[in-house]
A and B are shown apart, each in its own frame.
Chain A
Amino acid sequence: DGGITQSPKYLFRKEGQNVTLSCEQNLNHDAMYWYRQDPGQGLRLIYYSQIVNDFQKGDIAEGYSVSREKKESFPLTVTSAQKNPTAFYLCASSMTPLAGGREQFFGPGTRLTVL
């Protein structure tokens, strides 16, 4: 079955540590996205990538980094510079975003807790 996988489902981190969240898709989608979800808020875009080896900052990129070395993979690193990293992180992908009306497909999410 095609889809998006995120791992791990739950992640605990000590303050001052970097941590990497995995996102893999087998939908052959060009574009991939990372969102952060906090209680009572909508989704906020962290980073997105429309093609391999290229990515752009979203609205809240500070304290995060990404890479896009393969079409299928878009890992997110939460660095120690991110002041409030505890949140639910969602990865998404879509076909080429050049045409409108293309929905985003979401993974199951990773819940990160900083201890």
Chain B
Amino acid sequence: GNSVTQMEGPVTLSEEAFLTINCTYTATGYPSLFWYVQYPGEGLQLLLKATKADDKGSNKGFEATYRKETTSFHLEKGSVQVSDSAVYFCALQSVNTGNQFYFGTGTSLTVIP
């Protein structure tokens, strides 16, 4: 079946630290992969996506590379800011199941000044 596993949080970093949030997936076929961000009390916003192996998605200093050989899509940012504090969700979209989305459990990030 299809599933997404994210590193458990919460994660606390100092401003300007390097961020990695691990995401691995299980899927049949060739899924599309996404990272969404959720600020407190709000809905999810798309952060970046990749639709095929070796694609790199990037946005607002965040990036993630679609690694088919390791079934991973880790999120990275070189220097986090306080405003990056949020919950981050990794998700996959599977063609084999009508393009439904499968979400990870989310990783909470807090950045302290």
Residues of A within 8 A of B (CB): 4, 6, 33, 40-43, 45, 48, 50, 90, 92, 97-109, 111
For the A-B complex with A92-B44, A111-B41 known, give 7 more contacts whose Cβ atoms are closer than 8 Å: A42-B105, A43-B44, A48-B100, A92-B43, A99-B99, A104-B101, A109-B41
Task: Check if B49 is an interface residue, CB within 8 A of chain A.
Answer: yes
Whether the pair A97, B99 counts as a contact (CB closer than 8 A) is yes
User: For residue B31, which residues in chain A have a CB less than 8 angstroms away from its CB?
Assistant: 100
User: For residue A107, which residues in chain B have a CB less than 8 angstroms away from its CB?
Assistant: 43
Contact residues, B24-61 vs A (CB, 8 A): 31-32, 34, 36, 41-46, 49, 51
**Complex Cα spacing A97 to B99, Å:** 6
Whether the pair B99, A40 counts as a contact (CB closer than 8 A) is no
Whether the pair B93, A101 counts as a contact (CB closer than 8 A) is yes
**Complex Cα spacing A48 to B63, Å:** 30
B89-103, CB under 8 A of A: which get 1 and which 0? 100010100111101
What distance in Å separates the Cβ of B91 from its nearest Cβ neighbour in chain A?
8
Whether the pair B103, A103 counts as a contact (CB closer than 8 A) is no
**Complex Cα spacing A40 to B49, Å:** 23
The 7 closest A-B pairs by CB, nearest first: A106-B43, A101-B51, A97-B99, A42-B103, A106-B44, A43-B103, A42-B105
